Amino acid sequence: MPESREHRVAIAVMEDERHVASHFGAAPRFIILKVKNGKVTAREVRTNTDKCIHASGTLGCWAVMEKVLPDVRVVISAGMGENAYVGLLRRDVLPLVTEETDVEQAVRDYLHDRLQENPGLVHPPFK
């Protein structure tokens, strides 16, 4: 159930900002919602300038969290690597990986505690 206290939710989105991105760290943008008592009180878009790149020597998805999403408590994505998923949990951020690809529907479902999670969309780490 969504928290009753104020918190921020990040939705990994495609360029069109209408579709949930299939990979958290490679999402070009994030829609950030400020939510309180099940209602959206503010909305902003943040650009992901430090996309998670799967090559040795990169900061990976942690650059995204530290630079783009340091203030969020929930992340919604249509796909995510296992390392990012576990890392978010360790940072007290709730990752919600879902098959829902329509941003507005995902928001409605989250606010009404109906967002269907699919752990099968969490993929093993890239080598």
55 pLDDT more than 50: no
Residue 2 neighbours by CB distance under 10 Å: 19
Burial of 78 (0-12, 13-18, 19+ CB in 10 A): buried
Residue type, 69: L
Residue 53 has pLDDT above 60, yes or no: no
C-alpha closest to that of 24 among 115, 92, 90, 93: 93
Model confidence over 99-120: pLDDT tens digits?
A: 999 999 999 999 999 999 999 9
pLDDT at position 3: 64
Class of domain 7-117: alpha beta
Given the structure tokens 């690597």, which residue do they identify? 81
Whole-model pTM: value is 0.88
pLDDT digits (tens, 9 = 90+) for 89-104: 988 999 999 999 999 9
> Across residues 42-70, what is the average pLDDT?
72
